[in-house]
Amino acid sequence: MKAMIIREFGGPEVFELSDIPTPEVKPGQVLVRIAATSVNTVDTMIRLMGKELPISPNPPAVLGMDFAGTVEAVGEGVSGFSVGDEVYGCAGGLGELQGAMAEYMAADARLIALKPKNLSMREAAALPLVGITAYEGLIRAGISKGHRVLVHGGSGGVGHVALQLARHFGADVYATGGGDKQLALIEELGAKGINYKTESVADYVTEYTAGAGFDVVFDSVGGANIANSFEAAALNGQVATTVAMVELDLSVAHFKGLSLHVVFMLIPMIHDHGRKAHGHILSEIAKIAEAGNLRPVLDEQRFTLTEAGLAHARLSSGQAMGKVVIDI
Q: Residue 106: beta bridge partners?
A: 31
* 130-262 CATH pick, 3.40.50.450, 3.40.50.720, 3.30.420.40, 3.40.50.2300: 3.40.50.720
Q: Please report the DSSP string for 42-60 in residue order.
A: HHHHHHHHGGGSTTPPPSS
pLDDT for 51-66, tens place per residue? 999 999 999 999 999 9
Across residues 26-50, what is the average pLDDT? 97
169 three-class SS: coil
Report residue 128: phi and psi, to 5°. Answer: -55, -60
Pairing of strands 303-304, 214-219: unpaired
Mean pLDDT of 281-287: 98
Report percent pLDDT > 90 for the chain: 98
- pLDDT at position 309 is 97
Average pLDDT, the chain: 97
Global confidence as pTM? 0.97
Range(s) within the chain of domains with CATH label 3.90.180.10: 2-127+268-327
pLDDT tens digits for range 71-108: 999 999 999 999 999 999 999 999 999 999 999 999 99
Contact 213, 232 (CB under 8 A): yes
- Sign of the alpha-carbon dihedral angle for 264, 270, 276, 278: positive
Please calculate the CA angle 125-128-131 and round it to the nearest 5 degrees: 125
Burial (0-12, 13-18, 19+ Cβ within 10 Å), 82: exposed
* pLDDT value for 319: 87
Confidence of residue 240 (pLDDT cuts 50, 70, 90): very high
Peptide bond into 60 cis (omega under 30): yes
Q: Per CATH, is 2-127+268-327 categorized as 3.90.180.10?
A: yes
User: Phi and psi at residue 172, in whole multiples of 5°?
Assistant: -95, 110
- Cα separation, 36 vs 5, in Å, equals 16
Contact 87, 76 (CB under 8 A): no
- The answer to whether residue 119 scores a pLDDT higher than 90 is yes
Backbone angles phi, psi at 273, to 5 degrees: -125, 115
The residues of the chain that CATH labels 3.40.50.720 are 130-262
Alpha helices in the chain (DSSP H): 41-49, 121-125, 128-140, 157-168, 180-188, 201-209, 226-232, 251-256, 267-271, 275-290, 308-317
Query: CA separation (Å) from 15 to 10, 39, 48, 70?
Result: 9, 14, 11, 25
Proportion of the chain above pLDDT 70, given as a percent: 100
Residue 184: the pLDDT is 96
